[in-house]
Amino acid sequence: MGSSADSDAERGPQGEPSVPEPIAAAERAASESAGARHPHGRPGPRFDRNSPFVIGVTGGLGVLLAIGIVQMLATARQALVLVGVALFLAIGIEPVVAWLHRHRLPRWAAVAVVFGCATLLVAGFLAAAITPLIIQGGDLVDHATDQLHDLENQYPLIRSWSQRLHLDQELQHGLTDNPSLRHGLLGAGERVFGVLASALIVAVLTIYFSANFPRIRHSLYRFFPQSRRPRAILLGDAIFAKVGGYVLGNLVISLITAIATFVWLTVFSVPYPLILSVLVALLDLVPLVGSTVAGLIITAVALTVSLPVSIATAGFFLAMRLLEDYLLVPRIMDRTVRVPAVVTVVAIILGGALLGILGALLAIPCAAAVLLIVQEVVYPHLDGTTDRPPTGPGA
């Protein structure tokens, strides 16, 4: 009987459970504190950071969070790489989108114009070049050993080095272990599907990031304290400008180099001009060493024509490298990305060790961003030259 009476007392007049007084008081306070400016109430006071309980809980949660983040990054490494590439490309095309937006074009329309032009260019190139690429790639693989034998017969030095290094056996072994190479440049079907799926994911993410870039930028700056937010905006926008200038400049330089290479190889009847030009364009994206490796490969292929053509091709790539270093790079990228040579080498080595070719591609803009932060934040802090608000009675 007593328990039944207590149960009836805990219910309201209509049989619904009554709200305990502490909860009712909190709900009244919540409704009073909610307003237009703070719909979820004003932020409460901070916890006492010197409390042993807060220190212990924070330390334990920090360790668990660090372990979880490491495991998450290891598990989702491939997906995070795709997201990073998409964000990198979105930052790279942001100067073009922003320029169109400043000329009275809505942002969605500016993004549509940029990606529409890019899609048309890629589709046009594939429609015109995919068949020659497959044919030339298949011929290059099928006749690789014959080309090597011709070089050995024409040049005794190459025959000597080939015998010492066992190039013939290594080439045969490589072709035997990679039968997919015989089916053309696209390789096996699974690999092609994986590449296309990754490219589609990167394209979709790039469109999304580019369309919502202002919102992403604002959300990123919200993580900085209000007192440091203006400084963070200036530094962040400078970093975005450096990355964007590097991406666009690198693409333009690679395109110019590929076109010049295709014209040169066609004029001197060097075999496989289209596939070699595409290879030059891809390798030229890799800073510092890409153009050198491309020049060595093209020079070796030009030996199949004649020794004078090979020497002339080597001179052509040397001239292109000088033109790129002293004319194209200063005019296109030097105003946005200036990284010392030592920092460039170290960044490329570290980036290549971490993410391979992709890491080498991202090394220069990342190094430029880190260098800017060090020069503008770390050095002034260490030198004690940071601006501080005036204090005292006259402040």
The residue type found at 30 is A
Point out which residues pair with 17 in neighbouring strands.
11
Q: Give residue 395's pLDDT.
A: 46
Query: CA 343 to CA 375: how far, in whole Å?
Result: 14
Torsion, CA 364, CA 370, CA 374, CA 377, rounded to 10: 140
Residue 231: exposed, middle, or buried by beta-carbon count in 10 A (0-12, 13-18, 19+)?
A: middle
5 phi and psi, to 5 degrees?
A: -65, -40
Sign of CA dihedral 272, 277, 278, 284: positive
The residue type found at 198 is S
User: Quick check: 186 and 195 in contact, CB under 8 A?
Assistant: no
> For residue 295, which of 261, 266, 271 has the smallest C-alpha distance?
261
Query: CA 295 to CA 301: how far, in whole Å?
Result: 10
Query: CA 158 to CA 167: how far, in whole Å?
Result: 10
User: Quick check: 297 and 270 in contact, CB under 8 A?
Assistant: no
Q: Give residue 162's pLDDT.
A: 65
Q: Give residue 125's pLDDT.
A: 77
Angle separating helix axes 189-211 and 213-221, nearest 10 degrees? 70
Query: CA 369 to CA 237: how far, in whole Å?
Result: 11
Query: CA 332 to CA 247: how far, in whole Å?
Result: 11
Query: CA 230 to CA 55: how far, in whole Å?
Result: 31
The one-digit pLDDT tens for each residue of the chain (395 residues) are: 445 544 444 555 555 567 677 777 777 877 777 777 777 777 777 776 777 877 888 888 888 988 988 888 888 888 888 888 899 889 888 888 989 988 888 999 999 999 999 889 888 877 776 777 677 666 666 666 666 666 666 666 666 776 666 666 666 666 555 555 545 444 545 666 777 888 889 999 999 999 999 999 999 999 999 888 898 899 998 888 888 888 888 888 888 999 999 999 999 988 888 888 888 888 888 877 788 888 888 988 888 888 888 889 999 999 988 888 777 777 766 566 777 778 878 888 888 888 777 788 888 888 888 888 888 888 888 887 765 555 444 44
The 3-class SS string of the chain reads CHHHHHHHHCECCCCCECCCHHHHHHHHHHHHHCCCCCCCCCCCCCCCCCCHHHHHHHHHHHHHHHHHHHHHHHHCHHHHHHHHHHHHHHHHHHHHHHHHHHCCCCHHHHHHHHHHHHHHHHHHHHHHHHHHHHHHHHHHHHCHHHHHHHHHHHCHHHHHHHHHHCHHHHHHHHHHHCHHHHHCCCCCHHHHHHHHHHHHHHHHHHHHHHHCHHHHHHHHHCCCCCCCHHHHHHHHHHHHHHHHHHHHHHHHHHHHHHHHHHHHHHHCCCCCHHHHHHHHHHHHCCCCCHHHHHHHHHHHHHCCCCHHHHHHHHHHHHHHHHHHHHHHHHHHCCCCCCCCHHHHHHHHHHHHHHHCHHHHHHHHHHHHHHHHHHHHHHHHHHHCCCCCCCCCCCC
Would you give the distance in Å from CA 56 to the centre of its chain? 38
Tokens of 264: 């040169």
Q: Give residue 264's pLDDT.
A: 93
Q: Give residue 166's pLDDT.
A: 60
User: Quick check: 205 and 83 in contact, CB under 8 A?
Assistant: yes
Tokens of 147: 């080309």
